[in-house]
Structure 1
Amino acid sequence: MKEKETTKKEFNFNEVKNEMIHHYDEAINVYKDEMKKIRTGRANVTLIEDIKVDYYNNLTPLKQVATLTTPDATTILVTPWDKGVIKNIEKAIVSSGLGFGVSTDGNVVRVSIPPLTEERKKEIIKLLHSREEEAKVAIRNIRHKYLEQVKKAKEEAHVSEDLEKRYTQEVEKITHDYLEKIEKITMDKEKEIMEV
């Protein structure tokens, strides 16, 4: 009869670090996607592409039923693949509450992006900073998870106290870099809003 071998799983900081960076990258990508959807006064298809349209009794994202283009800085053209849903597209955009001007021009829906007022710019920037803080909290939560793994590895005698300190410092440095990335994305978006 063979004895069961009990092997302790060794702590591999590089694996932990790579996994943490992967989660940080995902959080940054989510934040970037959110920033694309915040209106700046310039026409951008991401502003309307996810609006749900009644497409034969199924709520379907606009980008799945039409081609979206921006012929100029203040207009988005919506060209439905099925001309029978043009009224539903127009209705969905109007009822989205985004405040865009909508008109039908033959087989195309024309969406006009009005310029932002100073008051609206301030509201958007306030929203921007709120989203920035949410993204930073997400990064800090990820950091906490991985710092706990380092601490647990020390407690289970997988790593020395010196290594724990070194790993903790590395986690903190990487976290700081990602928090700075979020701040840069926010500053760039704020600049874009104020320039319009």
Structure 2
Amino acid sequence: MAKAVEATRRAFNTIRTGRANASLLDKVMVDYYGSPTPLKSLANINTPDASTLSIQPFDPSSVSAIEKAISLSDIGLTPNNDGKIIRLNIPPLTSERRKEFVKVASKYAEEGRVSVRNVRREGIDRFRKQEKDSEISEDESRDLQEQVQSLTDKYVALVDQAFADKEKDIMTV
């Protein structure tokens, strides 16, 4: 369940909030010598100011491949290339765009909740099977199922809190 919450938080980090953040580029894969490679393993990514990302490739010959991968990605930013460094200017978000990003974050939060519930279902199924096989008593099974449910409630609340924080971050101008 903790892994599901952490995965949801990582997904939230890929959503733009109007400020430059290197984690925006976490999902960008570059076709580097025929194999898809994560951008962060090909270049140094910096945030010189609140509205700019600076990407300095370790291999200068990969600048055009990185620029192409950023253009084709779904982050919606246009790269500026000066031959050695690629710069991404992060424009301020419109209120309409902010609402779209909140919807995306909501979708990620729901996926996180579903993951937590799947772990709950697996645990409860395991206890029921143990009860059916007479490994544990009915009372023990019920107690363990209640514990799993309380853990589920706790982790769903963590996902909801992470979503609320991200929504606040996105909507802050």
CA deviations 1:103-146 (Å, max 9, x no partner) are 12341111111111111111111111122111111111110111
Quote the offset at 1:171 in angstroms. Answer: 0.8
Partner of 2:104: 127
Residue in 1 that maps onto 2:13? 36
Q: Which digits, 9 at most, give the CA deviation of each residue in 1:1-51, with x for residues without a partner?
A: xxxxxxxxxxxxxxxxxxxxxxx1221121111111111111111111431
Contact 2:43 2:55 in 1 (8 A): yes
- Gap runs ≥5 in structure 2: none
> Could you tell me which amino acid in structure 1 is paired with residue 41 of structure 2?
Q
2: CA distance, partners of 1:70 / 1:95: 21
Q: Which residue number corresponds to residue 115 of structure 2? A: 138
2:4 corresponds to: 27
Give the aligned partner of residue 111 of structure 1.
88
Offset at residue 183 of structure 1 (A): 0.3
Structure ID, larger Rg: 1
Q: TM-score, normalised by structure 2?
A: 0.92
> Secondary structure in 2 aligned to 1:116?
coil
- Residue 96 in 1 paired to residue 73 in 2? yes
> Residue 187 of structure 1: CA displacement?
0.5
Q: Provide the identity percentage.
A: 38
The CA distance in 1 between the partners of 2:34 and 2:117, in whole Å, is: 42
Does the C-alpha gap of structure 1 residues 152 and 58 become closer, same or farther in structure 2, counting only changes over 3 Å?
Answer: closer
Residue among 157, 167, 172 paired with 1:190: 167
- Report the Cα offset of residue 175 of structure 1: 0.7
The counterpart of 1:78, out of the listed 55, 63, 69, is 55
Structure 1: runs of 5+ lacking an equivalent = 1-23
Between the two proteins, the alignment pairs up a number of residues equal to 173
User: 1:132 touches 1:183 (CA, 8 Å); kept in 2?
Assistant: yes
CA RMSD of aligned residues (A): 1.5
